[in-house]
A and B are shown apart, each in its own frame.
Chain A
Amino acid sequence: MEDSPHAHADLDTRALKLDRIGPVEWEIPMGTVAQMKTPARIIASKALLEKIRTDRTLRQLANVACLPGIVKFPISMPDSHEGYGFPIGGVVALDCETGGISPGGIGYDINCGVRLIRTNLSAAEVRPKIKQLLDKIHDSVPSGVGRATKRKLSPSELDAVLVDGAKAAVRIGQGWKEDLEHCEEGGSLPGARPEKVSAEARDRGKSQVGTLGAGNHFLEVQEIGETFGPEAEAFGLEKGKAVVMIHCGSRGFGHQVCSDYLRVMEDKFKEEISGLPDRELAYAPAGTREADDYFSAMACAVNFAFTNRQAIMHSVRGAFSRVFGRTPEDLGMSLLYDVAHNIAKIEEHHARKCFVHRKGATRAFGPGRKEVPQAYRRVGQPVLLPGSMGTASYVLVGSETAMERTFGSTAHGAGRMMSRGEALRRHRGEEIVKELGARGILVRCDSWRSIAEEAPDCYKDIDEVARVSHEAGIGRLVARMRPIGVVKG
């Protein structure tokens, strides 16, 4: 592929020798990078691995295996691609005593994630009203560059968001109590301390709750095209029904938290970082004040993102209600689940307490775990895999295999594979909209350029990513959705 600007002379990722340890599992052996403390693993089919080899993903994964306190091995998912320091689509567990926590292992958009809302409407009922629906949603959910809400949160309102997350939104009437039960962490990660967040992050965040942002974030009305296992029934998903997917994160707030703490760690732990192969691997050793402070600030950003998605869902329910002339309750608009893609959590795996960093990876806990909501505990945690604009999305279910092999994690979506510049050379926004229109997908976006940059062929094949997750047994297929209408930032 022509888009690999970082073909590094020091490690030819295309020719790198990997050990095949399963039909869709590979290992980078120790010694590939001198300081590696463990091997590193990749879950991918041959086809996906070929794509992964075209950028620096494998080099970055090997670098991560150099971090102190690494538990078992770092793992990259079928949708992985090159990130900053850590690859995107990676799971890295660092021991809570001998390891540490790294902002780069979580990503700038802390708690970028997805939620899926059910409806009792059939796609056939939604289609005739899709334009009206997207217009209403677009009016009530600000999106795109420089678009904020009209009302700024007061300092105490913002504090409530940072400490309580989605609970804060539900408390002021933006949602139902049962929504919270269907969010990872109940929509509120404990340990958040607003005093650990900079004034700049607060400034950026105070008018961004309830906004979609831009880039790969989207809001989609989808049709359930296919269901696979018995879990579909447990999840209340029925072929032909309409659902709504919201994909966004902690906006400028989370980005500022990440960049503030990268700076703190870089200044404070010069010696530790100088021994690492990449500046973006900066971390705070476990037990230091900086590690605690970052965790507290990160938790604020996690809660900000949960609140953001909750507020957007509230607007979506309102839009449906106005268009269909029925209450959201009457339309059966309950939340299936809300998952984080970029987060660190303290979890116990293989009898060790660790900071599990998921960057572009989804928690996929199996049946019986107390973290899985009561309604799904018998079958396992719902996993939401968003596609890109105009492609399919999936619901998977977490598994025992994921607990054993991937720290209870699986993929997070399609994963970009074409540069924005190349996308702009190949596509025109107007044509993409026409093409998608011909396939029955309506797009609502203020920027033609943004549509061209996010064209469906810029991303890896989501069907293949979901299939490999299923084959590896780390997230099994439950439902495949196809879009009817898209709102892009």
Chain B
Amino acid sequence: MTEDSGFRFLPHTTDVEFESYGRTLSRAFANAGKATFASMTDLSEVARKKAVRVSVPRRSDDVALLYDFLDRLVYLYDAKGMFFSSFSVRITKAGLSAVARGEPISRKHPTFSLVKSVTYHEMAITKRAGRFVCRVVLDV
């Protein structure tokens, strides 16, 4: 995975760690969604057959918003059996609204790590060279 794909995995002893990038915060969040599912399967195998609306109210800062957004995606994967490969995200003062596109998990999807939780560990949102960078560790 390269930075051009919008995210990059970093080495981590026990879990999955990634950085996602975007010229806007919304874009960086959308790429964080992609990275989460890229750790579980091959995104090119996930057809965008079904759109699911996700809305997350803001509790406090952007880090908490990112945590809650990804937590919601992990819920949709684990409880509803969905893989997503594309996201459009809108962030406002009130929170986040997004559309996640994908399809139900089936035997045709190769499976990698099973993401069990998003964590706050090392979670950070920074700006680097004019781009937003989200750093996330997933518990697998």
Contact = CB atoms under 8 A, between A and B. Distances in A.
Interface of A: 2-6, 55, 81-85, 88, 108-109, 144-146, 148, 200, 203-204, 213-215, 251-252, 255-256, 258-259, 262-263, 266-267, 279-280, 416-422, 446-447, 449-450, 453, 489
Contact of B75 (A214, A256, A416, A489): A256
Interface stretch (B12-20, B47-55, B92-100): B12-20
A262 B83 CA distance: 25
A371 B105 CA distance: 43
B59 A84 contact: no
Given A82-B13, A145-B111, A259 B60 contact: no
Contacts of B109: 146
Q: Top 3 closest A-B pairs, CB basis?
A: A145-B111, A214-B114, A84-B121
Contacts of B140: 214-215, 420
Contacts of A81: 13-14
A160 to B, nearest CB: 20
Contacts of B122: 6
Contacts of A214: 111, 113-114, 140
Given A204-B78, A267-B60, A5 B119 contact: no
Interface in B1-55: 9-17, 40-41
A109 B15 CA distance: 13
7 contacts: A85-B121, A146-B114, A251-B116, A255-B139, A263-B67, A416-B13, A449-B112
A489 B114 contact: yes
B17 to A, nearest CB: 7
Contacts of A2: 11
B62 interface: no
A420 B114 CA distance: 12
A463 to B, nearest CB: 21
Nearest to B81: A146
Given A145-B40, A200-B75, A55 B13 contact: yes
Contact of A148 (B10, B11, B67, B81): B81
B81 to A, nearest CB: 6
Interface string B113-140: 1101111111000000000000001011
Given A108-B139, A213-B114, A280-B119, A252 B79 contact: yes
B64 A266 contact: yes
Contacts of B16: 420
Contact of B12 (A145, A146, A252, A419): A419
Contact of A263 (B15, B68, B78, B80): B68
A417 B13 contact: yes
Interface of B: 9-17, 40-41, 59-60, 64, 67-68, 71, 74-75, 77-81, 83, 105, 109-114, 116-122, 137, 139-140
A145 B64 contact: no
Summarize B's interface: helix, strand, loop or mixed: loop
A417 B14 CA distance: 7
Contacts of B81: 146, 148
Nearest to B59: A267
A394 to B, nearest CB: 21
Contacts of A419: 11-14
Nearest to B70: A259
Contacts of B80: 203
Given A215-B114, A255-B139, 17 more contacts: A5-B10, A5-B11, A5-B13, A84-B139, A85-B120, A145-B113, A146-B109, A146-B111, A259-B71, A263-B67, A263-B68, A266-B64, A267-B59, A280-B120, A420-B12, A449-B110, A449-B111
Nearest to B15: A420
A259 B13 contact: no
Given A84-B137, A146-B105, A4 B114 contact: no
Given A204-B78, A215-B140, A280-B121, A108 B116 contact: yes
B111 A204 contact: no
Nearest to A143: B114
Nearest to A6: B122
Contacts of B77: 146
A399 to B, nearest CB: 29
B14 A416 contact: yes
Contacts of A88: 14
Contacts of B137: 84
A178 to B, nearest CB: 32
A421 B9 contact: yes
B44 to A, nearest CB: 16
A85 B140 CA distance: 16
A271 B118 CA distance: 23
A102 to B, nearest CB: 13
B118 A200 contact: no
A323 B119 CA distance: 43
Contacts of B11: 2-3, 5, 419, 421-422
A145 B120 contact: no
Contacts of A200: 75, 79
B121 A5 contact: no
B8 to A, nearest CB: 11
B75 A203 contact: yes
